[in-house]
Amino acid sequence: MLISVRCGIVLATVLVLGSAMEEEAAGPVIEVREPMTPPAWALLEREVLRAGSSAVDLFYDKYFDERGYLLHVARWGILDGTDDAIETFHNWPLFHALGADNLVLDRYRKALEGHLRQYTAVKTVTTDIAKDGVYHREFYGYTDWLHAGEGLRSFFFQGLTDPANPRYINRMRRFAGLYMNEDPEAPNYDARHRIIRSVLNGSKGPLLRKLTAQDWIGDPVPGKFHLLHSGEGDRKMLDFQAEYPEMLTAVDDPVFDSAAGDNPLNLATTNVATSAYLLTGDRKYRDWVLEYAGAWRERTQANGGIIPGNIGLDGAIGGAYGGKWYKGIFMWDRDRYEGSLASWGMWPGFGNAFLLTGDRAWIDALRRQIDLLYAQGRKINGRFMVPNNYGDNGWYHLREYIFAHELGKIWAWTMDPRDRDRLPLEGWIAFLAGKDPSYPETAFRKELDFIRQRTDRVRQDSTTPDSRLADWALQQNPVTTRALVELTCGGHRIDHGLDRLFGLLHSRVRYFDPVRRRAGLPTDVAALVTAMDADTFRLTLVNVNQVESRTVTVQGGAYGEHQIREVVIAGKTNSVNGRFFSLRLAPGAGAELIVRDTRYAHQPTMAMPWYGDLTPAAWAN
C-alpha cells in the first residue's frame, strides 16, 4: 500500500513494506524527495567520518605490524602497560558504529587479536600478577577495574557494530561468567554478601594478599623511553626505574594495601554482564547486574548517600579498613588519586541498571551524592568549590569542579528541565536549548582540526619501537567521536575521564545502513539532533549525494530501548509504533523530523534491525 501526501515543501510518502523492500529497510519507510541544499554542518560531519577513517589507516600502518602487534615495548604496569596498549584503539568500533569506513572495523579486529596474543606472552618476574602472562584465556589474570575499564572499552563498543560475531559473543559470555562464578578458576563473586572479593580480580579469581609496588608498576625494564606520565614531559628520555621512584618504594607504603574486599570501581564489571545480556537476552546476566548494583545502592543509602570506598569480606561497610568507609584503593582518602574516583564506578553500575529497568531510582542515588557534596561546598574568592576528599577529620581538598559532566548524564537520562537547569548553558547543552546555533559547525571543525593535528604528529613521529611504551601511540590516536555522539545520536559525550569505566553508549537515537547491512550512517547521509525533551526530539536528515538516493534506518536508543511512536514531517504525522523506521532520501533530499517516542519502553538489545526477533547470539547461529 502506498500513501502519498504533499505537505508544504516536503513530499513525504509512507510505504508499508512489501517483499521488494524487505531486504533493504526495517520498519515503516518514509520517502523524502524534496531537495535540501547540504548545510555546512552536514558536509563537515561527512568529512569527519571520511578523514577519520583515512587517518586510522595511516595510524595503523605506523604503529602496528602485520600480526596486529603494537610496535612498542610490551610490559605489565598500570601507568604505561596493558590497558594503555589496548586503549590505543578503544574508540574505533564506536567510530565505525557511527558511520566510519569498514576499514576501521577491519583494523580494529586485527589490532584486538594481535593485542590479546601479544600480551598473553608478556610475563612478570617481580610479581606474580602476570607470571604466566598478563592475559589468561584472553582476559586479565588480575587487575583493578579503573584500568580494566579503560582497556575494555573497545570490547563494549564492538557490540554496537559487530554483535553477531561468534568469537565476540563467546568472549562476552565467558567474561561475564568470571563474575557469576561460572568459571571454577575464578571465584570472584561472593553471592551471599553480594561482593566481588578483591580490588584486583580477573580470570584467575580474586587476589587476596597484600599488594606490593611491583604489582602496580611491573618489572623494571632496561632502556630509554618517552615517558608521558613524567613531570619532565616527553622531551626527555630517562631510565624507566628512575622515572617512577615513588612507585618503587618500600612495599609498606600506605598507598599499597591489601587487595581483599570489594571496591566501588568493581561496579564497572556490570558492563560485561550487561553486554552479555544485550547479545543473548539471557536474563541471568540482567539479574546479576541488578543484584550486584543493587547491593551497592543499598550500601550507599546506608552510608548516608555517599558510596563507601571499601566493603569487607564479611560484607560490612568499611570492613576492609577497620570500619573506615572512606578508605580504599583510589578512594576518598587518597589525595593523589582524587577522591572523586571513588564514585566513578557508580555511573556504569547504576547506569546499566537504569538501562535495563528504566527505573529512575538508580538515577536518584547518583543525583543525591552530588547534592550531598554540594552541601559541603562553599565559595572561596567568589568561586564555588566542593570537597574532593574525605579523611579522619571529614571533608577536605575543595576544588572548582561542580560535576557538570555527571549532571549532564543525569539530564540526558531524565530529560527533566530541573536537571538541565543545573547545567552550564554552553556547548552542546546551549545548542539544544536554542542558544548556540553555530555549535555543530564549530564542533565538527574542531574535530577536523584534531584529526589533522594527530595525523601530522604521526607523520612527524621519529621514535622507534624500542623507545615507546604503551601510552605513546595512545596519545597519537586520530579518532574522535564526541561531536558525532552528541550531534548525530543525541548522546551525552563519552570522552570524559569518568567514561573510562562507562563502556556502553547511552543515546536517544542510532542509525543503520539497511542496504549494506551495517551499523552507522549510510554513505552520504548526515544527521543532526537539534532538540530533545522527555517525549520528543527533533532530527534533520539529509542526503548530500546529488546523484544517488540513500536509505537510512533510524532506531530509538543505542540499543532499541526507546519506542518510536510517530514521525512528523512538514505537518504530516506518520505512525511507527516500533523500535525503528526507515527514511528513503532521494538524491540531494533532506527533511526536518519531529520524532515522538516513549523512552525505556523496551528491553535493550544489540540486535540489528534486520534480525527481527532474534538476539545477536541467535542470529549468529
Q: What is the pLDDT of residues 260-298, one digit of tens each?
A: 999 999 999 999 999 999 999 999 999 999 999 999 999
The torsion angle over the Cα atoms of residues 158, 179, 267 and 253, rounded to 10 degrees, is -110
Between CA 78 and CA 211 the distance in angstroms is 14
What's the rounded mean pLDDT across residues 22-36? 85
pLDDT of residue 22: 44
Q: Does residue 423 have a pLDDT over 50?
A: yes
> CA 546 → CA 33, 520, 585, 600, distances in Å?
12, 20, 11, 37
What's the rounded mean pLDDT across residues 197-206? 97
User: Mind listing the pLDDT tens digit for each residue in 496-526?
Assistant: 888 888 889 999 999 999 999 999 999 999 9
Asked if residues 9 and 34 have their Cβ atoms less than 8 Å apart, the reply is yes
Q: Does residue 240 have a pLDDT over 70?
A: no
User: Mind listing the pLDDT tens digit for each residue in 539-588?
Assistant: 999 999 999 999 999 999 999 999 999 999 999 999 999 999 999 999 99
With residue 504 as reference, give the H or E element that holds it: none
Q: Does residue 36 have a pLDDT over 50?
A: yes
User: Mind listing the pLDDT tens digit for each residue in 141-172?
Assistant: 999 999 999 999 999 999 999 999 999 999 99
**Strand locations in 153-287, DSSP E?**
189-190, 195-196, 224-226, 237-239
Residue 55 three-state SS = helix
**Higher local confidence (pLDDT), 499 or 195:** 195
Cell of 147: 584500568
Q: What percent of the chain has pLDDT over 90?
A: 81
User: Mind listing the pLDDT tens digit for each residue in 603-615?
Assistant: 999 999 999 999 9
Q: Does residue 102 have a pLDDT over 50?
A: yes
Task: Give the residue carrying C-alpha cell 536554542.
Answer: 434
pTM recorded for the entire structure: 0.93
pLDDT of residue 336: 64
Between CA 522 and CA 8 the distance in angstroms is 27
Cell of 59: 595510524
Domains and CATH numbers, the chain: 2-34+507-620 (2.60.40.1180)
Residue 312 three-state SS = coil
Sign of CA dihedral 234, 235, 237, 240: negative
Provide the b/e sequence for 176-205 (b: ≥16 CB within 10 Å). Answer: bbbbbeebeebebbbeebbbbbbbbbbbbb
